[in-house]
Amino acid sequence: MHRDDLVRLGSKHDGGYIVTKNIIEHTDFLVSLGIGADWTFEADFYKRKGIPVHCYDHTIGLGRFTRYAIRDMRRLLLSPHAGDAGAAYATNILLPLQYRIFFYGKRKHFVEKIGDDPEHYTDFRKMFSRIPARDRVFLKMDIEGYEYRAIHGIKDYYERLTGITVEFHHLATMMDTVRRHVGDLGEHFHIVHVHVNNFNGTDERGIPATIEMTFESKELTPGKEMPSERSYPVDGLDSPNAAHERDYRLEFSG
């Protein structure tokens, strides 16, 4: 769907995503699945709205970041002229402080793994039990393939969502599944942006390994849908996830 109000939130490269100003305006609560060491998207969303933010990622936390910082402080002291590696060491040294600064008050990090089995994973029922019943939610999903174990659970909460940004992984083997999920979502949401994540390239057919898609609730944009005539990636908005590799252009058929 064509939109004139697209904005980028987060990093210029990996960790940044495209949403609409309309989504931001109508969102009361941000839920983010998968953050790693980059919460720039969540920070930008928070700067614009000041709304509660719940992040879920079982792979990181203050203790782990502190261990990284101690390890890389030693490396930096032993190799003060380490070049690019030294810059990475310096970044990791700051992670514990940055984590403590961002995650407090209305901004919470849950060290929980996402899945569809509530006995062993956190599912959407548990996530939404932590959110006021009247709040409209924007959902970001970047959970390295676990989206296929969790995404069907969103169906019970479509009316609560202003939009979704999701990374679909392993497209070469999961294309039929992705088509099915996109079809289901298309009943309630418009696709407002698409971008290829260039980290893992494409297969011999030109199918990317990972693609990012942003959906906006049709309740926010009633009326006739206008097909987008943009070229993708979008100049001025999109950037390659891997900064030193070329971005991939999308070609549509059918």
- The CATH number linked to 159 is 3.40.50
Q: Of 72, 106, 140, which marks where a domain is finished?
A: 106
Shared-domain flag, residues 205 and 81: no
> Same structural domain for residues 173 and 127?
yes
97 and 75 fall within a common domain: yes
Query: For the chain, first and last CA: distance in Å?
Result: 16
pLDDT value of residue 103:
98
Residue 60 is predicted with a pLDDT of 95
Final residue before a domain boundary, out of 71, 106, 141: 106
pLDDT for res 168: 94
Q: Does residue 126 sit in the same domain as residue 235?
A: yes
Q: What is the pLDDT of residue 11?
A: 95
Pair 126, 217 in one domain? yes
Residue type, 236: G
C-beta contacts of 15-18 below 8 A and 24+ residues apart: 15/40, 15/41, 16/40, 16/41, 16/239, 17/41, 17/140, 17/165, 17/212, 17/214, 18/165, 18/192, 18/193, 18/195, 18/214, 18/234, 18/237, 18/238
**122 and 167 fall within a common domain:** yes
Q: Are residues 66 and 45 in the same domain?
A: no
Identify whether residues 101 and 134 lie together within a single domain: no
Tell me: do 71 and 37 sit in the same domain: no
Domain ends where: 106, 134, 161? 106
pTM for the predicted model, two decimal places: 0.93
pLDDT 10s per residue in the chain (254 long)? 888 999 999 999 999 999 999 999 999 999 999 999 999 999 999 999 999 999 999 999 999 999 999 998 888 888 766 666 667 778 889 999 999 999 999 999 999 999 888 888 999 999 999 999 999 999 999 998 888 888 888 999 999 999 999 999 999 899 999 999 999 999 999 999 999 999 888 888 888 899 999 999 999 987 767 888 889 999 999 999 998 888 999 887 65
pLDDT at position 86, please? 65
The answer to whether residues 84 and 10 belong to one domain is no
Same domain for 247 and 207, yes or no, is: yes
The whole domain housing 232 covers 1-59+111-254
Domain count across the chain: 2
